[in-house]
Amino acid sequence: MGCLDIPNETVFTMEMTPIKVGVGATDEVAYDLKRLGVRHALIVTDHGVMKLGLPERVRTLLQEDGISADIFDDVHVEPTDKSFEAIASFVHGRDYDGFVAIGGGSSIDSAKAANLFTAYPAPVLDYVNKPIGKGLPVPGPLKPLVALPTTAGTGSETTAVAIMDVLSLKVKTGISHRYLRPTMAIIDPLNTVTLPPMATAYPGFDVLTHALESYTSRPYDARPKHKPEERPVYVGSNPISDLWCEKALEYLGRYLRRAVLNGMDVEARTYMALAATYAGIGFGNAGVHVPHAIAYPIAGLVKNFSPPDYPKDEPIIPHGLSVIITAPSTFRWTYPVSPERHLRAAQLLGANVNGLTAAEMPEVLPRTLLSLMRDTGIPNGLAALGYGDADAGALIEGTLKQQRLLVNCPRDVGAEELRHIIQSSLEYW
Ligand SMILES: [Fe+2]
């Protein structure tokens, strides 16, 4: 029993998607769908990936093995409740017995939604996390979903969450349930070699923050005890998620710069793809905290930022950029909770942590992050994205809506702490 007579959690969970990984793994997609009993599949992708030809190639591979497949290529990049409704009405009455997601997190999350709404049609908000939606559990197991990620980023291929914006409330939230987790991930580094430099760097920093936030999240046994049916998907850092996060950080330290500098570096692409999946397994069980929570209003309130290597039709702050931009300040602030973890993370990312003075120690992780950011073309803080002091109130308000993530923070965090983090993230160098 804890000192307040509230028992602490003693149990944690670790769930993950079976994975097939390697150069050319895509060629085995029909074998796996057949093995899973799929005869009539829906391929879910977006227009950008469609243009590169991979979805058509996968459809041909499936057809050669007697599996028919339709393609839904209208995935909204950064899905919304409306885009989930659109995919729900698309699948209505079509009896797909399996799903193939091809793309980044948006396509994989949309395929999770397609799978859910095929099996259990309902208004989208019924399943959306409380307090924004009703938070109803997914009623039962879904059809097989095989995910082929084309970015080394979100790790959505291994997670039980489908993220989206609720447009009327201007808030990002999602549907979380273990039944949403893909049945299998096919990770083929060759599907990422054509990504341009910034479409490699931003998702790379998404991977980095997944690993770092999970590694430093409030430990599972420093939380209240849950009944098994009420235990959240994100249970907090634990000995198993730590292993995946540590290895992901090590790969990022070695391969992120290389993958950005030379997209055809297949070794770097392979380890970045692995890092994304490892970090996905880590955060899919432990959970992310402050940088991901602040990232939601940072992306949602975008003014006129338009990054290189992205479509120019509307201003956008890509997810990976929105999460890394406050990370150096956040990890300076969380340092006192677990100095050894912060030093270890910096070391895994490539920093020398021997012989540091007491004053240098809290700075080593922020400095390591800043060096990676500068080397890969990340803008210099929130000011470079168009935010100033006057925006702090709106950013704080948006962040405080993300209690689902803020409970994972190792320190108690409210408006005052967020203001400090935001103000120290305006300009770094
Ligand atoms: Fe993320």
pLDDT in tens, 269-282: 999 999 999 999 99
Find the mean pLDDT for residues 58-76: 97
Higher pLDDT, 178 or 331: 331
Cα 280 to ligand 1 centroid, rounded to whole Å: 9
Cα 292 to ligand 1 centroid, rounded to whole Å: 6
Adjacent-strand bridge partners of 72? 44
Cα 393 to ligand 1 centroid, rounded to whole Å: 23
Cα 176 to ligand 1 centroid, rounded to whole Å: 15
* 419 close to 382: Cβ distance less than 8 angstroms: no
Adjacent-strand bridge partners of 184? 146
Cα 357 to ligand 1 centroid, rounded to whole Å: 33
Cα 206 to ligand 1 centroid, rounded to whole Å: 5
Find the mean pLDDT for residues 275-297: 95
- β-bridge pairing 19-21 and 184-187: parallel
pLDDT at 1 exceeding the cut of 60: no
Cis peptide before 131 (omega within 30 of 0): yes
* 164 close to 129: Cβ distance less than 8 angstroms: no
Cα 155 to ligand 1 centroid, rounded to whole Å: 8
pLDDT at 259 exceeding the cut of 60: yes
Cα 322 to ligand 1 centroid, rounded to whole Å: 9
Mean pLDDT of the chain: 94
Confidence at residue 371, expressed as pLDDT on a 0 to 100 scale: 98
pLDDT at 218 exceeding the cut of 70: yes
Cα 307 to ligand 1 centroid, rounded to whole Å: 18
Residue 178 is which amino acid?
R
pLDDT at 152 exceeding the cut of 60: yes
Confidence at residue 3, expressed as pLDDT on a 0 to 100 scale: 52
Classify residue 350 as left (phi > 0), alpha (psi -120 to 50) or beta.
left
Find the mean pLDDT for residues 85-102: 95
Cα 207 to ligand 1 centroid, rounded to whole Å: 7
Cα 68 to ligand 1 centroid, rounded to whole Å: 33
* 127 close to 20: Cβ distance less than 8 angstroms: no
First to last CA, the chain: 47
How far is the CA of 405 from the CAs of 48, 109, 122, 211, in angstroms?
A: 30, 18, 26, 14
Cα 422 to ligand 1 centroid, rounded to whole Å: 18
Question: For residue 101, which phi and psi values (nearest 5 degrees)?
Answer: -100, 130
Question: Percent of the chain scored above 90 by pLDDT?
Answer: 86
- Which residue is listed with tokens 């677990």? 338
Two structure tokens written together for 112: 């999770």
Confidence at residue 323, expressed as pLDDT on a 0 to 100 scale: 98
Cα 118 to ligand 1 centroid, rounded to whole Å: 26
Confidence at residue 172, expressed as pLDDT on a 0 to 100 scale: 82
* 180 close to 161: Cβ distance less than 8 angstroms: yes
**Structure confidence at residue 167 as a pLDDT band (50, 70, 90):** confident
Complete edge-to-edge strand list for the sheet that includes strand 19-21: 19-21, 184-187, 145-149, 98-103, 40-44, 68-72
Find the mean pLDDT for residues 178-196: 95
Confidence at residue 313, expressed as pLDDT on a 0 to 100 scale: 82
Find the mean pLDDT for residues 29-47: 97
Adjacent-strand bridge partners of 98? 41
Name the DSSP letter for residue 21: E
Cα 44 to ligand 1 centroid, rounded to whole Å: 20
**Structure confidence at residue 4 as a pLDDT band (50, 70, 90):** low
Cα 212 to ligand 1 centroid, rounded to whole Å: 11
Interatomic CA distance for residues 375 and 198, integer angstroms: 12
User: Hey, is 274 helix, strand or coil?
Assistant: helix
Confidence at residue 5, expressed as pLDDT on a 0 to 100 scale: 67
pLDDT at 173 exceeding the cut of 90: no
Structure confidence by residue, pLDDT tens digits, 338-378? 999 999 999 999 999 999 999 999 999 999 999 999 999 99
**Structure confidence at residue 132 as a pLDDT band (50, 70, 90):** confident
pLDDT at 198 exceeding the cut of 60: yes
